[in-house]
Amino acid sequence: MRILLVDDEVELTGPLSRVLTREGYVVDAAYHGADGSQLAQARTYDLLILDWMLPGKTGLEICQELRNQGQTTPVLFLTAKDTLDDRVQGLDAGADDYLVKPFELRELLARVRALLRRSGVESQTTTAGRLMVADLELDVDNQIAYRQGRMIELSQKESQLLKYFMENAGQLLTHNQIMQHLWQDGEQPASNVIAALIRLLRRKVEVETESTLIHTVYGKGYRFGSTVIE
């Protein structure tokens, strides 16, 4: 999934870009309204995060232009404008959501996930029986995953676990939920089997410089495609 972030506050844009990248998103960043507008016109994005007040061209103008062209890409406004009239103006311009600065990172990431789910992007199942989250694709029927051009062969349980993670991207899954899902019939294995299975899956889907997708929420469980945010 590709996100365009346009904000002239370098101290915000840099760290936020890194956080979104760790979440598994591909992020393009721009610091000037005209540059952001050009990127939005030239490339296909799954989500736009726009600051309202930008040099050259405002986020409001960028959003209005895209909507006038018939583009339906979700837009999240980040802005210090916090009056009711401002919010109404932003939504009327075509924005899908609105977050006032300063904001909690946890809330922004939740809104990003919600917008992507709403648009059917975060976890997509194709007619060929495939799931895709970030740059990872799973061929459910053949127990094969693909990431950055490489093919990953999976065992039956690894494929079932990865499918469960991808279908619930961004959600905290407890050890018990995973156990109940993978062993619905028959006697359940020892609790350390889950940790061992996840360790094997990580070795296959996260190699070298690839971003982390399976995150441990200590004492609780795991979250796929999302950093641990307390």
> Between 178 and 103, whose confidence is greater?
178
At 37-65, the pLDDT tens digits run: 999 988 888 899 999 889 999 999 999 99
According to DSSP, residue 187 is labeled -
| Per-residue pLDDT, 230 | 39
Residue-level pLDDT at 63 = 92
Q: Quick one: tokens of 25?
A: 């998103």
- Which pLDDT does position 129 carry in this prediction? 66
Residue 6: both structure tokens together: 């346009």
Mean pLDDT value across the chain? 84
| pLDDT, position 186 | 65
Are the beta carbons of 182 and 158 closer than 8 angstroms? Answer: no
pLDDT bin (cut points 50, 70, 90) of residue 127 is very low
Share of the chain above pLDDT 90, in %: 30
Q: Which residue has the tokens 């890409």?
A: 73
Domains (ranges, CATH) in the chain? 2-118 (3.40.50.2300), 124-224 (1.10.10.10)
Span 108-126, mean pLDDT? 70
Which CA distances in Å does 53 have to 31, 33, 47, 57, 150? 11, 9, 19, 8, 42
pTM attached to this predicted model? 0.54
Q: 124 pLDDT exceeds 60?
A: no
Tokens of residue 77, six digits: 């406004």
Is pLDDT of 16 > 70? Answer: yes
pLDDT of res. 228: 42
Q: Look at 149 and 2; give whichever has higher pLDDT.
A: 2
DSSP 109-123: HHHHHHHHHHTT-SS
- Each residue's pLDDT tens digit, 140-199: 888 999 887 788 999 999 999 999 998 888 788 998 899 988 887 766 777 789 999 999
pLDDT at 84: 76
pLDDT tens for each residue of 4-14: 999 998 888 88
Predicted pLDDT at 229? 41
Q: In whole angstroms, give the CA distance from residue 184 to residue 181.
A: 6
pLDDT at 25 over 60: yes
